[in-house]
Structure 1
């Protein structure tokens, strides 16, 4: 079991600042669903994310960051990633590896994965929209960041992301077999 002391939003903001990455953050009521996020954050320009913490039977884990309205075929996603059958990671696993509770999942949570156990996967579509809006380790705030800066952040914390074309999951899954 990984023992981590989760980073705080302030730790995240310091890391971003140390990297020279500019962000904007707003505070809002806690949001747990895409619908609640749209209600409280829908007027923030840019891409809004849905973040899926996934695992396979072998215990490998992925964090998929995609557009909030994406419908994801888990069977095709598992094939495209070479992961086999995927399921959602438990709240306990989420806390153990990413140091957060359900509702706060975002690409920024990779900061807490010191063992590099979780692979970050970015929907290629989201990379064409700026800024990208995600929770900064808490679901009571939303932070806006440029796509290139998000990638730079993830690389700096040893989580170079994989880009995946969610629009072509069926073809990617076919090619992977």
Structure 2
């Protein structure tokens, strides 16, 4: 098991957050995840790692996988300059992750709490969510309430946004 992945399970156990784990072939996109033959009755969500135009603010956006995130609309809602995808180098620097494994679990590595989390308001109504444990060869399912518990433990700023 990868060190990045084992760190996630250590934190989940520390927080008494139960999870279901699914090992699978490497997947880098929601489309690839949906092609896997896993019998999951929970929502997958997209994890987008964005930066503002100055490059001095970074955002992890959690959005329903069926939606297309409009970065202009998100920027307007949060009062930011133009948003764009952050580089692979920034992803590694701030969340300790590689492309294809972006997940809120990467916040474990954001020691300075520099990444702000933006959550699609529609995720609030979900009972459970499925996400990567910082590697793209596994997925874990946790309750949305426990995702909130994890985010609170991380201590990063969290904001809810409306993504049509």
User: Normalising by the residue count of structure 1, what TM-score does the alignment of the two structures yield?
Assistant: 0.87
Which ranges of structure 1 fall in alignment gaps of 5 or more residues? 1-5, 168-177
- Distance in 2, matches of 1:43 and 1:52, equals 25
Q: Between 156-165 and 124-133, report the one with greater CA deviation.
A: 156-165
Question: CA 1:83–1:140 in structure 2 vs 1: closer, same or farther (change >3 Å)?
Answer: same
Question: CA 1:48–1:86 in structure 2 vs 1: closer, same or farther (change >3 Å)?
Answer: same
Q: How many residues align?
A: 162
Out of 27, 39, 43, which is 1:47 matched to? 43
User: Normalising by the residue count of structure 2, what TM-score does the alignment of the two structures yield?
Assistant: 0.93
- Distance in 2, matches of 1:76 and 1:113, equals 26
Out of 17, 22, 28, which is 1:32 matched to? 28
Following superposition of structure 1 onto structure 2, how do residues 1-177 of structure 1 map, counting pairs within 5 Å? 8-40=4-36, 43-58=39-54, 59-167=56-164
Aligned-residue CA RMSD (Å): 1.5
- Distance in 1, matches of 2:69 and 2:157, equals 22
Question: CA 1:66–1:42 in structure 2 vs 1: closer, same or farther (change >3 Å)?
Answer: farther
Q: State the Cα deviation string for residues 3-62 of structure 1 (Å, max 9, x = none).
A: xxx962111111111111111111000001121110116631111011100001232000
